[in-house]
Structure 1
Amino acid sequence: MAVDNNTVTSEDLVASSIDFVEQFSDNVQTLLNAMGNVRKHPMASGSVIQTYKAEVENASSRTVAEGEVIPLTKIKRTKGKTYDLNLTDKLRKTTTFEGIQKDGFAQAVTYTDSKLLGIAQKNAKKDLFDALTSKGTTTAKGTGLQAAISAGLGKLTTLFEDTDGVGKTIAYINPNDLYTYLGNAQITTQTAFGLKYLQNYLNVDVVFMSASIPEGKVVLTVDNNMNFYYVDMRGEAGRAFNMQVDETGLIGATHKQTPESLSYDTIAAGGWLILPERTDGIVTSTIEAPAVKPATDVSKG
């Protein structure tokens, strides 16, 4: 007996899951590529990430007389904060029998999946900006946007002047600050992971715009300072729940029929942490308003 073309098969379920996973992973990778050389670290759920700080005590002298003992340079590595890597996102949504009957399987499920995908991406972006706005320890300031960016770049240059291969400079600004600075000038932007960005602007390699950055602030760092830790969904636990993944294991997704409620569930899970290698390598620069000159009293001329 021929199968009705409208019958939902197991192949349809797997295909929907794979499509969800690939869209999310492709979008995340596009963002990381735009940011430059951000390092990715696939790990098991429950892993503890230990951060460190380096403290250097210079030798009392660089030069000693012939035969004398060379003084020591002391380099001490101390433990900083620890972070737990867990499943930060467990998402589930339901497409009803009525929705599928009205719009067809592919359209109904694709539409609701796109909404869930948007939530997953929004959560990942929130984690990115939380890391940028809460973990930086270096500050700068300048009058106006350009001066604030220049001051931040100056701090970055000082911090990383003895470090090879720091990569691109990245700035994050509030769109209102950028467009206030631009006025009527036209710019060409690109989009990655729902974020607009400019390349090679105001002496910065990549400038991202986001309302998650407070107005009046610019956050700057270098791409090699950022680490992207994530739960690898390719493991045994993912297989136990029939999670579809891609080669990165960034997120797992599965679809299943739920006959008792005449519905069709999409379930996705993933976990990530975005942490700086050096907290002092994130610079928050304040955009200061120009000083207002006192009004001249023309009556005393």
Structure 2
Amino acid sequence: MPAKTNLIMTNDIHVTAREIDFVTRFERNWQHLRDILGIMRPIKKQPGAVLKSKYAEGTLQSGKVGEGEEIPYSKFVVKEKDYAEMTIEKYAKAVSIEAIKDHGYENAVQMTDDEFLFQLQTDVTGRFYDYLKTGTLTSTETTFQMALAMAKGRVENKFKQMHRNVTGVVGFVNILDVYEYLGAAEITIQNQFGFQYMKDFMGFNTIFLLSDSEIPRGTVIATPVENIVLYYVDPNESDFARAGLVYTVSGETNLIGFHTQGNYHTAVSEAFAIMGLTLFAEYIDAIAVITIDETPTLGTLTVNSVAGTESGDTKITVNPAKENAGNVYKYKVATDAVTVGYGQNLRNWSTWDGKADITATTGQKITVVECDGTYKALNAGSASVTAKS
């Protein structure tokens, strides 16, 4: 007598177990990464939702207000820029019956499933690392240690300016830079689920050790953990099932759907995965990208002086424009041009907004310096003053 209709066969149980194992391992890896980063619960998005990177800008008005005078408002705004649209991404792989015969099930199917999972995971993290490289808190330091320190300090300072709390900072560095810096020192590197990282190193909650393809040597990237968000599209949406596309998922947050089947037309074992997963840093101006240059040189500014609007004032123009919106101009007027060295701290020099006239005397020398957010000199130039008589 033939088997009854809809009887669950041994092969059905094996296939379902394979699907459950795949999605469970994938979600376990991402849960582990979330634990390392300190990310809270992932945020569910609908397909087509547009992710926007944000940055804050504004000018603090002078607080020197006379008695009874009206206090000017300081205007600060948060601007947005489209980053990516949430989409469902589709992947597939197939293993032939000949490969299973020649190499056995474990090698032909299970090991390729492992590599399939790893590549899917790497695709998401790779896009995240590329996005981090576009962070706008940029500067150059002369040592790896200083680059780490300044990366952490700059993102913490940025979040303070935004009146947001920082519970921890995550760093991303090239693994060869770490070993070169530490030399033969004993360090504890954790390696789990494809991620290499160090905990509680030089004030960072976590520092990820990445390859040359993920982050170039001589670069340190950092951002607060509060700035990192994981967005996802649920692959188990009812509309997909109504269309006849049913995928195995796992957990409360369905980050990936997986389905396997045998294709008798081609005698191959097929595997299909769909996911809509984006690891994202919300504020692009709270990502520090620090470059290490052991022999940096001071850049050159072309400074021009013409008569200003009021008597005794000069109008200054500088070329090229600032390298970074977070950089500041400092200046000094003296009998002779002032010599400045790269990285010199010019906090006590006068600040110039790049527009206002400056009071000076014709024939004096004005030295203008572009500094980073910590007042370290990056580029400088001088000119003879021409003031309105």
Shorter-chain TM range is 0.7 to 0.9
Gaps of 5+ in 2: 4-8, 297-389
Query: Which amino acid in structure 1 is aligned with residue 265 of structure 2?
Result: E
Report the Cα distance in structure 1 between the residues aligned to 2:2 and 2:189, rounded to whole angstroms: 51
Aligned residues of 2:97 and 2:268 also touching (Cα < 8 A):
yes
Residue of structure 2 equivalent to 1:271? 276
Q: Is the 8 A contact 2:195 2:208 kept in 1?
A: yes
Counterpart CA distance in 2 for 1:77 and 1:127 is 24
Specify the alignment match of 2:111 in structure 1. Answer: 111
**In the alignment, residue 33 of structure 1 is paired with which amino acid?**
D
8 Å CA contact 1:124, 1:272 repeated in 2: yes
Please state if 1:241 is matched with 2:245. Answer: yes
Cα distance in 2, alignment partners of residues 2 and 101 from structure 1? 28
Please say if residues 55 and 285 of structure 2, whose CA atoms lie closer than 8 Å, have aligned partners that are also in contact: no
The 10-residue stretch of structure 1 (140-149 or 256-265) with the greater mean CA deviation from structure 2: 140-149
* Native 8 Å contact 1:38 1:225 kept in 2: no
Q: Deviations over 1:236-292 (max 9, x none)?
A: 24433110111211011001111111121111111222222211111011222268x
Letter in 2 for 1:139: T
Structure with larger RCO (C-alpha < 8 A, sep 6+): 1
Secondary structure of the residue that 2:253 maps to in structure 1?
coil
Give the 3 Å change call, closer, same or farther, for CA 129–80 of structure 1 in structure 2: same
Structure 2 residue 153 is matched with structure 1 residue 154: yes
Match of 2:139? 140
After TM superposition, list the pairs within 5 Å mapping 1:198-277 onto structure 2: 198-211=198-211, 212-239=214-241, 240-246=244-250, 247-277=252-282
Structure-2 separation of matches of 1:167 and 1:15: 40
- How far does residue 202 in structure 1 lie from its aligned partner after superposition? 1.7
Partner of residue 15, structure 1 = 17
Alignment of 1:86-105 (within 5 A): 86-88=87-89, 90-101=90-101, 105=105
Q: Distance in 1 between matches of 2:270 and 2:191?
A: 30
Normalized per residue, the structure richer in helix is 1
Q: TM-score of the superposition, structure 2-length normalised?
A: 0.66
How many Å apart are 1:128 and its aligned residue?
A: 1.9
CA apart distance, 1:63: 7.3
| Corresponding residue number in structure 2 for 1:181 | 181
Q: Are the structure 2 counterparts of residues 50 and 203 from structure 1 closer, same or farther at C-alpha, using a change threshold of 3 Å?
A: closer
Residue pair 2:156, 2:166 contacting (<8 A) in 1 also: no
Q: How far has the Cα of 1:140 moved from its partner?
A: 2.5
Tell me the secondary structure at the aligned position of residue 265 of structure 2: helix
The residue correspondences of 1:54-69 to structure 2 (distance < 5 A) are 54-58=56-60, 61=63
Change (3 A) 1:184 1:101: same
* Closer, same or farther: CA 208–50 of 1 in aligned 2, 3 Å: closer
Of structures 1 and 2, the larger Rg is shown by 2
Q: Which runs of 4+ in 1 moved over 6 A?
A: none
Alignment of 1:22-33 (within 5 A): 22-33=24-35
Instruction: Kindly provide the amino acid, as one letter, of the partner of residue 150 in structure 2.
Output: A
The percent of aligned pairs where both chains have the same amino acid is 28
2:288 to 283, 286, 290: 283
Q: Give secondary structure in 2 for the equivalent of 1:248.
A: coil
Partner SS state of residue 42, structure 2: strand
What is the letter of the counterpart of residue 121 of structure 2? Q
1:41 to 15, 40, 43: 43
Between 77-86 and 14-23, report the one with greater CA deviation: 77-86
**Residue equivalent to 1:294:** none
TM-score by length of 1: 0.84
Shift of 1:145: 1.0
Q: Which amino acid aligns with 1:281?
A: A
Q: Cα distance, 1:131 vs. partner?
A: 1.6
Aligned mates of 2:33, 2:266 — CA distance in 1: 38
Alignment of 1:72 onto 2:73: yes
Give the distance between the partners of 2:30 and 2:165, measured in 1 at CA. 23
**1:256–1:266 contact (8 Å) kept in structure 2:** yes
8 A contact 1:141–1:152 mirrored in 2: no
In 1, Cα distance between the equivalents of 2:270 and 2:95? Answer: 6
Contact 2:53-2:284 at 8 Å conserved across structures: no
Deviation at 1:49?
Answer: 2.1
Matched pairs, number:
285
